[in-house]
Structure formats: C-alpha cells, structure tokens
Amino acid sequence: MNKKMLVIVATAVSVLAGCQTYDRAASYVKEPVVSDVKTGMTRAQVRAIAGPPSTEATLIHAKGTCQTYAVAPRDGKAQTYFVSYNDMGRVMNKGYQTCSDYDKDPQASK
C-alpha cells in the first residue's frame, strides 16, 4: 500500500512541476518584443511595440545595427532579447541572446 501511495504522490508532483514550467515558458512569449516583432518590420514599428531598447550597437559580422531588450527573468537570471536591423532599417533577425553574441555568429540564430 505504501508503494502505491508513493507512486501517486510522485505522479502528482511531476504533473504539478510540469505545469509550473509551462506557465513560466508562456510568460516569455507574452513579452511584446518576443511575440509581436516580425522580420521585415521597421525600426519605428518595433519601438511602438517594444518601447526603447536597453542598448544599441553597430554590427560588424552581421552588418547593420542591433538593439537589446531586457525581458522577464528566467530561473532568476536576467534575459536579453535582440532585434537586428539591416542597412534599410528593417528587422532581419531576433532571438534570445545579446547583440554581441549574435554578431559573433549571425548564422547560428537562423
């Protein structure tokens, strides 16, 4: 009988832990810069959606410029989300890393 109860408790804990992880992951997609910014948008459209960036940098390897946004912390650590722009001022890429990390290997984000 104790084994059966242990299995039930372990299953319940696993289910609850899975729900918590899912909820945390969903909160990142709710960030406007993550959910609403699309490739091809203008710089003005991104600013209207996401507000001002935390930083802006000129890219060397990827060419163009890049803006970094602070988004909801994950597992207690600050998260950054980059939006890179081509020479025409249109979004060419975006993702969870810093502009400097993206510029080191722009092909890795695609």
**Chain segment 12-26, per-residue pLDDT in tens:** 444 444 444 434 444
For residue 87, the number of C-alpha atoms closer than 13 Å in the C-beta half-sphere is 3
Q: How far apart are CA 11 and CA 106, in angstroms?
A: 42
Token couple for 45:
């459209």
Q: How far apart are CA 106 and CA 97, in angstroms?
A: 11
pLDDT digits (tens, 9 = 90+) for 72-86: 887 888 889 999 999
Q: How far apart are CA 31 and CA 95, in angstroms?
A: 12
Token couple for 25:
């992951």
State yes or no: pLDDT of 100 exceeds 50: yes
**Per-residue model confidence (pLDDT) at position 81:** 93
